[in-house]
């Protein structure tokens, strides 16, 4: 039987797939959408990113330029000059640093999925070690 967090993640994944955007060649989610997903206000989300800058390198999250924001505004997306875009890696990291109950649930489910998928992958041992066994 699927857990409550698993069901929540499946519902959110479907809803957020519609909000996924392609910016700088990356599939990203905007901070406004993630604040809703994690049940935190946008300022709390941005504060967490500022508090832990070492956890959000450019391949995890980046600030949108005015040129990138303009077409999104015409699509009724409310953004400002502080808007951030998060890659899949950034979404996972964000779930681990936010303190809301929903963010904690999402973080746990992400870890379960990653570990679960890794457990089903064949072992990748170096040939020399595999030959010795």
Please write the tens of the pLDDT for every residue from 79-99: 676 789 999 889 889 988 998
pLDDT in tens, 21-80: 889 999 898 998 889 888 899 999 999 999 999 999 999 999 999 888 888 776 656 667
pLDDT of residue 56: 96
Judge whether residue 131 has pLDDT over 50.
Answer: no
pLDDT of residue 112: 75
Q: Which two tokens stand for residue 111?
A: 């870890």
The mean pLDDT of the chain is 77
Which ranges of 24-126 does DSSP label H, i.e. alpha helix? Answer: 31-37, 42-51, 66-73, 88-97, 101-119
């Amino acid at each position: 039987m699927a857990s409550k967090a698993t069901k929540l993640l499946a519902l959110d994944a479907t809803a957020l797939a519609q909000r996924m955007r392609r910016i700088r060649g990356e599939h990203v989610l905007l901070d406004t959408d993630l604040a809703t997903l994690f049940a935190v206000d946008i300022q709390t989300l941005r504060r967490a990113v500022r508090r832990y800058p070492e956890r959000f390198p450019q391949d995890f999250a980046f600030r949108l330029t005015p040129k990138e924001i303009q077409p999104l505004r015409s699509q009724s997306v409310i953004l400002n000059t502080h808007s951030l875009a998060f890659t899949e890696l950034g979404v996972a990291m964000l779930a681990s640093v936010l303190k809301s109950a929903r963010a904690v649930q999402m973080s746990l489910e992400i870890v379960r999925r990653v570990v679960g998928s890794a457990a089903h992958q064949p072992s990748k041992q170096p040939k020399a070690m595999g030959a010795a066994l």
